[in-house]
Amino acid sequence: MTSTPVRPRRRRGRPDGPPPSQRTPNYRQLRNPFPTMDVFSGDEIANMHETALRTLEDLGLRVLLPEARRIFAQAGARVDDATEMVYLGRDIVAAALTTAPRKFECIAGAPHRDIHMALGALTFQPGAGAPNCTDLKRGRRPGSGRDFRELIQLTQHFDVFQMVSPLVEPQDIPTHLRHYFTVEAQLTLTDKFPFFFSRGTPQAMDSFEMLKDFRGLSDDAFAQNPHCYTIINTNSPRTLDIPMAQGLIDFARARQLSIITPFTLMGAMAPITVAGAITLSHAEVLGALTLTQLAQPGAPVCYGTFTSNVDMKSGAPAFGTPAHFQASLAAGQMARFLGLPWRSAAGSASNLNDVQAANENQMGLWGCLLAGASVVIHSAGWLEGGLSVSYEKLITDVEVLNMIAELCAGANAGPAEIGFDALAEVAPSGHFFATAQTMARYNTEFYEPIVHDYTNFGTWTERGSVDATHRATAVWQAILDADERPEVDPAKVEALQGFISKRTKEGGAPPES
- For residue 24, CA distances in Å to 9, 266, 440, 458 come to 12, 43, 15, 32
**Residue of 5, 111, 174, 315 interacting with a copy of itself (CB under 8 A):** 315
Query: How many chain residues interact with a copy of itself (CB under 8 A)?
Result: 132
Chain residues 319-358 in contact with a copy of itself, contact rule CB under 8 A: 320-323, 325-326, 330, 349-358
**Residue of 419, 480, 485, 493 interacting with a copy of itself (CB under 8 A):** 419
8 Å CB contact between 168 and 198: no
Count the residues in the chain: 513
Closest contact distance (angstroms) between CB of 159 and a copy of itself is: 15
Question: Counting Cβ atoms within 10 Å, is residue 87 exposed (0-12), middle (13-18) or buried (19+)?
Answer: middle
- The residue (of 199 and 393) whose beta carbon lies closer to a copy of itself is 393
**Residue of 98, 456, 502, 506 interacting with a copy of itself (CB under 8 A):** 456
**Residue of 428, 464, 490, 505 interacting with a copy of itself (CB under 8 A):** 428
- The residue (of 228 and 358) whose beta carbon lies closer to a copy of itself is 358
Q: Is residue 464 close enough to count as binding a copy of itself by CB under 8 A? A: no
Nearest to residue 503, comparing CAs of 253, 254, 202? 202
Nearest to residue 88, comparing CAs of 314, 288, 230, 321? 288
Nearest to residue 176, comparing CAs of 485, 441, 436, 506? 506
Nearest to residue 229, comparing CAs of 284, 165, 294, 283? 165
170 residue type, one letter? P
Closest contact distance (angstroms) between CB of 195 and a copy of itself is: 25
Q: Is residue 224 close enough to count as binding a copy of itself by CB under 8 A? A: no
Q: Is residue 434 close enough to count as binding a copy of itself by CB under 8 A? A: no
Q: What share of the chain is helix, strand, coil (3-state, %, to 5)?
A: 45, 15, 40
- The residue (of 467 and 489) whose beta carbon lies closer to a copy of itself is 467
Chain residues 147-206 in contact with a copy of itself, contact rule CB under 8 A: none
Nearest to residue 42, comparing CAs of 274, 337, 305? 337
Q: What is the DSSP letter of 257?
A: E
Distance CA 331, CA 288 (A): 16
- The residue (of 137 and 441) whose beta carbon lies closer to a copy of itself is 441
Chain residues 260-279 in contact with a copy of itself, contact rule CB under 8 A: 266-276, 279
**Residue of 22, 98, 218, 465 interacting with a copy of itself (CB under 8 A):** 465
Distance CA 169, CA 32 (A): 31
Q: Is residue 87 close enough to count as binding a copy of itself by CB under 8 A? A: no
**Residue of 360, 368, 374, 389 interacting with a copy of itself (CB under 8 A):** 360
Task: Tell me how far the alpha carbon of residue 195 is from its chain's centroid.
Answer: 10
Chain residues 93-152 in contact with a copy of itself, contact rule CB under 8 A: 140
Q: Is residue 33 close enough to count as binding a copy of itself by CB under 8 A? A: yes
